[in-house]
């Protein structure tokens, strides 16, 4: 009997196993587990490929940046040297312009002094002339007041001069 029970259990276990395997197989087919696994595998493979491409692009960009950076020191040195040259040129031009401006100011100042001197000379000459005329007038008036004969003589000479004028 023990063998029969064991046979019975073995058969029922086998039967349960077959039913269980059938259900698993049905679910496996129904849920398309193989398709899902294939899709997952394909997705992982695609992600790996994308990662490889991204890695390649990153390495290319890194190489480009490293190339640029490796020449950066030389470029900075060139820019600094060019800036120094430009500063020297601009500085020389500023000094030259300043010297020209100073020379123009000197020239204009000399001309202004000469002009002012001429104006002052003319003013002094005018004042001196007016003073001389005034002194001469006063002297003539005094002479004429002091010497009546001179006064009459000058009047006669003036009348004679007028008579001698022909029209």
Per run of 10 residues, the mean pLDDT along the chain (length 167 residues) is: 66 82 79 74 88 90 83 83 90 89 90 90 89 86 80 78 69
At residue 82, the pLDDT reads 92
At residue 4, the pLDDT reads 74
At residue 1, the pLDDT reads 52
Residue with the two structure tokens 């000479």: 157
Q: Does residue 11 lie in a domain region?
A: yes
Q: Does residue 28 lie in a domain region?
A: yes
Q: Does residue 13 lie in a domain region?
A: yes
- Rounded-to-integer distance, Cα 48 and Cα 40, Å: 12
At residue 56, the pLDDT reads 92
Q: Does residue 94 lie in a domain region?
A: yes
Q: Does residue 49 lie in a domain region?
A: yes
Q: Does residue 166 lie in a domain region?
A: no
Give, in order, the Cα–Cα distances in Å from 7 to each of 3, 15, 16, 20. 6, 12, 14, 19
Contact between 127 and 134 under an 8 Å Cβ cutoff? The reply is: no
At residue 165, the pLDDT reads 63
Sign of CA pseudo-dihedral 12, 15, 21, 24: negative
Structural domain of residue 22, as residue ranges?
Answer: 2-118
3-state secondary structure of 115: helix
Q: Does residue 96 lie in a domain region?
A: yes
At residue 164, the pLDDT reads 67
Q: Does residue 130 lie in a domain region?
A: no
Kind and range of the H or E run holding 154: helix 148-163
Count: domains in the chain: 1
Task: Report which DSSP code applies to 134.
Answer: H
């Amino acid at each position: 009997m023990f063998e029969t029970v064991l046979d019975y259990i073995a058969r029922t276990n086998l039967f349960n196993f077959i039913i269980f395997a059938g259900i698993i197989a049905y679910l496996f087919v129904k849920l398309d587990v193989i398709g899902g696994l294939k899709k997952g595998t394909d997705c992982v493979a695609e992600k790996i490929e994308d990662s490889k491409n991204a890695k390649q692009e990153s390495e290319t960009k890194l190489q480009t940046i490293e190339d640029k950076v490796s020449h950066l020191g030389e470029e900075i040195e060139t820019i600094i040297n060019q800036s120094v040259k430009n500063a020297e040129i601009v500085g020389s031009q500023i000094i030259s312009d300043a010297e020209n401006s100073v020379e123009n100011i000197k020239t204009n100042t000399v001309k202004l002094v000469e002009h002012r001197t001429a104006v002052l000379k003319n003013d002094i000459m005018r004042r001196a002339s007016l003073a001389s005329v005034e002194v001469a007038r006063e002297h003539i008036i005094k002479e004429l007041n002091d010497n009546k004969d001179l006064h009459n003589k000058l009047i006669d000479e003036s009348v004679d001069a007028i008579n001698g004028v022909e029209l």
